[in-house]
């Protein structure tokens, strides 16, 4: 009879892991409650009231006091909000408000917490997809485009003028002079909207598969008479030519495509002489071992698993995932024919890498 190998069981390692799992349960709950605090305006209300009772806070935020009090229970026991048990008042320390309120932009981490609810909205779907290997579709997710737009507005759009465009010397001057710009996988199109306002002599086009992602921005642009901005609803995997552009951008929009290499080939073919491709994508590595040191890795792999990978597979794509890695991105850009490729990381954005690819 074969003897089973003896497994050493380390009791103290197990006790530590049990404690870790308690933290996991508490922090996962806190992340969802943080999302609710953001969406209901509770953090902003708390910040505008130095010290408040639950009733005063509920009135300020125009919410039901009973739910506000229970939510405060989460925030106090999680050490986010301070509580005076005698006066029954609550206070949000300014050092915490600096990461949770609208005024905290671009550091408002409550915005990013909304992705927990987005991921949870497809839990049932994904359990089934684990079994059949099929993909998902954008309409399966609750609020994906809305949350994506809010997150990239604070991380990317707000940094365009001061951090991202200056990566390419002379680019701002060219935009001031008047050039043609295309944003592929534009989502809500807020990056194009910001640039169209800042550079009236240039012409901007946003293309996305999902019209519902950009329709609100399109209406806003028409209302503001922004005649240098247009949006097109198009499946980029079905397009062979987009025309010629001086600048093409892709913000977090290559790895989850049906055909990421095909998109980069299309971008390369759509650049005019002297044109530039500016691509922002997740700044991870394709090497799992390297990512162990990335403090955002569990979040990024989760977003990849619950969204980026299955939406690509759902379109018939390879499901590269968000952690395709800087290495793979550079290889794909080279394969598309780009001659000079620079990769940057920016101090304000620890999640992403910024690629400048020239013809
Ligand atoms: C992660 S989102 C990024 C959106 C936006 N660039 C931003 O940063 O907020 C990726 C976008 O790519 C779009 N997309 C995915 N597959 C596409 C396809 N085949 N053709 C056009 N757009 C596509 C999605 O609809 C989605 O809006």
What is the 3-state composition of the chain as percent helix, strand, coil, each rounded to the nearest 5? 55, 15, 30
Q: Which pair of structure tokens corresponds to residue 254?
A: 């290559």
**For residue 238, which atom of ligand 1 is closest to its CA?**
19
Q: Is the dihedral of CA 252, 256, 257, 261 positive or negative?
A: positive
How many angstroms separate the alpha carbon of residue 233 from the centre of ligand 1? 11
Residue 126 CA, ligand 1 centroid: distance in Å? 20
- pTM for the model stands at 0.95
| pLDDT in the model for residue 99 | 98
DSSP tag of 5: P
Q: What is the best residue among 185, 234, 248, 323 to mutate for testing ligand 1's pocket, by most ligand atoms within 8 Å of CB?
A: 185
Ligand 1 centroid–CA 82 distance in Å is 40
Pocket (CB within 6 angstroms of ligand 1): 138, 148-149, 152, 185-187, 208-210, 213, 235-237, 251-253, 256-258, 315
**Going by CA atoms, what residue is nearest to atom 13 of ligand 1?**
185
| Ligand 1 center–CA 295 separation, angstroms | 25
pLDDT score for 149: 98
Q: Whose CA is nearest to atom 8 of ligand 1?
A: 251
DSSP at 182: E
> How much distance in Å is there from the Cα of 314 to the middle of ligand 1?
13
Q: What distance separates the 2 farthest-apart alpha carbons in the chain?
A: 83
Instruction: Report the nearest atom of ligand 1 relative to the CA of 236.
Output: 20
Domain 11-104 CATH (choose: 1.25.40.10, 3.40.640.10, 1.10.10.10, 3.20.20.70): 1.10.10.10
Nearest protein Cα to ligand 1, atom 11: 185
Q: Which residues, other chains included, contact 335 with Cβ-Cβ below 8 Å and sequence gap of 6+?
A: 261, 264
- Same CATH fold assignment for domains 11-104 and 119-358: no
How far from chain centre, in Å, is Cα 12? Answer: 38
Where are the domains positioned within the chain? 11-104, 119-358
CATH number of the domain located at residue range(s) 119-358 in this protein: 3.40.50.150
Q: What is the DSSP letter of 143?
A: S
Mean pLDDT by 10 residues, the chain (359 residues): 78 98 98 98 94 96 98 98 98 97 94 98 98 97 98 96 97 98 98 98 98 97 96 94 95 95 97 97 96 96 98 97 97 96 94 96
Distance 355 CA to ligand 1 centre (A): 18
CA distance 47 to 277: 41
């Amino acid at each position: 009879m074969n003897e089973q190998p003896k497994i050493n069981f380390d009791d103290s390692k197990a006790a530590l892991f049990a404690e870790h799992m308690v933290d996991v349960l508490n922090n996962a709950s806190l992340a969802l409650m943080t999302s609710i605090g953001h969406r209901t305006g509770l953090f902003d209300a708390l910040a505008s009231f130095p010290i408040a009772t639950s009733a005063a806070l509920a009135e300020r935020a125009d919410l039901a006091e009973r739910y506000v009090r229970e939510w405060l229970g989460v925030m106090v026991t999680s050490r986010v909000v301070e509580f005076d048990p005698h006066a029954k008042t609550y206070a949000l320390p300014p050092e915490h408000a600096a990461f949770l309120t609208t005024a905290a932009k671009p550091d408002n981490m409550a915005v990013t917490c909304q992705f927990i609810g987005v991921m949870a909205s497809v839990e049932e779907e994904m359990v089934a997809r684990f079994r059949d290997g099929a993909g998902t579709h954008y309409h399966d997710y609750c609020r994906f485009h809305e949350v994506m737009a809010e997150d990239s507005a604070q991380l990317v759009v707000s940094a365009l003028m001061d951090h991202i465009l200056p990566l390419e010397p002379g680019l701002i001057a060219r935009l001031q002079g008047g050039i043609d710009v295309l944003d592929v996988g534009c989502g809500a199109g807020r990056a194009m909207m910001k640039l169209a306002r800042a550079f009236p002599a240039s012409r901007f086009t946003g293309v996305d598969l999902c019209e519902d992602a950009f329709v609100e921005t399109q209406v806003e642009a028409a209302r503001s008479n922004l005649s240098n901005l247009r949006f097109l609803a198009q499946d980029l995997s079905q397009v062979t030519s987009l025309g010629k552009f001086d600048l093409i951008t892709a913000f977090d929009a290559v790895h989850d495509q049906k055909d990421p290499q095909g998109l980069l080939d299309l971008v390369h073919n759509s650049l005019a002489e002297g044109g530039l491709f500016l691509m922002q994508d997740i700044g991870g590595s394709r090497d799992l071992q390297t990512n162990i040191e990335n403090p955002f890795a569990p979040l990024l792999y989760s977003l990849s698993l619950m969204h980026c990978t299955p939406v690509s597979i759902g379109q018939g794509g390879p499901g590269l995932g968000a952690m395709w890695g800087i290495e793979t991105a550079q290889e794909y850009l080279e394969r598309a024919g780009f001659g000079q490729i620079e990769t940057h990381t920016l101090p304000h954005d620890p999640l992403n890498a910024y690629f400048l690819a020239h013809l």
